[in-house]
Amino acid sequence: MDDASVRMRVVFDERIGDSRAELAELLGRCGVAGGRSGYLAEIAARLEVFGSAGEPSSTPILDAGADGLEYFRRHGPERARRQRREFDFDAEIGRRYASQRGIPLAELRADAEQLESLCSDMLDVRHEPWQRAMWQRVGGFADTLRVACDAVERIVFDKADAVHRLADDPGPYDDDRYEARLAVFEAACRHAEADIADVLRRLGGEMAATDLAETRYVG
């Protein structure tokens, strides 16, 4: 991994760590003590050991945490009734949670591998210093793309994990409990949106510096 990719990983680690700290604090205020279970626990174990869970896309990660949405489906209508309004689960909860569905993680990793392979082949046959320097930059971008993909996977996992922990609440509606859990949900959505946007912005900057700006990674 080149120096630029290492620096980017450090930046992502710090930002993701800050987001996790806020989510942990908000979950603590809810009194949520339950751990991970099911598929999310498997993903967490892979992230811990390998730094990447190798998920094909963001969708199965979000699906694994979606049971926490049932709290809002169950209690949202009562909160809305007390506020004298209608409750629209899809608009207020469902679509916000699903906004990171469909990110093609496996496809992005494959692109990084193809770039890496191409660079290796070209470095074997290109001997001019300027040519080698150019292909080394492209190889560095392959590392950066992989780092960015892993960061996005972790960000989506943190969102799903936080929401999943809201699932276990069989009690009756309570204003304070609902607001505390809604704060977790809103923070999880906010961090996912902002953190992924930051990853893409930095990835676009690295791409421009590598003369690859005409690809599909930046809109």
Does residue 105 sit within a domain? yes
Enter the pTM of the model: 0.88
Domain membership of residue 214 (yes or no) is no
pLDDT band at residue 215 using 50, 70 and 90 as cut-offs? very low
> 143 is in which domain, residue-wise?
3-209
> Cα dihedral sign for 177, 95, 99, 105?
positive
Q: How far apart are the C-alpha atoms of 181 and 187, rounded to whole Å?
A: 10
- Contact 160/97 with Cβ under 8 angstroms? no
Residue 84 lies in a domain: yes
> Do the beta carbons of residue 111 and residue 148 sit within 8 Å?
no
Task: Tell me, yes or no, whether 90 lies in a domain.
Answer: yes
Range of weakest confidence among 60-64, 115-119, 159-163, 171-175 = 115-119
Which band of pLDDT confidence, cut at 50, 70 and 90, is reported for residue 117? confident
**Between 139 and 156, whose confidence is greater?**
156
Q: What letter would DSSP give residue 215?
A: S
Predicted local confidence at residue 164, as pLDDT: 95
* pLDDT value at 140 more than 80: no
Write out the two tokens for 31. Answer: 């009194």
The Cα–Cα gap between 185 and 23 comes to 9
∠ CA 132-134-136, nearest 5°, is 70
pLDDT confidence of 213, banded at 50, 70, 90? very low
Q: What is the DSSP code (8-state) at residue 94?
A: I
Residue-level pLDDT at 216: 42
Is 62 part of any domain?
yes
**Residue 139, C-beta contacts closer than 8 angstroms, at least 6 positions apart:** 2, 115, 116, 119, 120, 123
**Token code pair at residue 214:** 């005409």
Q: Which of 13-17, 60-64, 205-209 has the lowest mean pLDDT?
A: 205-209
Domain contains 217: no
Q: Of the ranges 25-29, 130-134, 163-167, which one carries the lowest mean pLDDT score?
A: 130-134
Q: Which residue has the higher pLDDT, 212 or 189?
A: 189
Total domains, the chain? 1
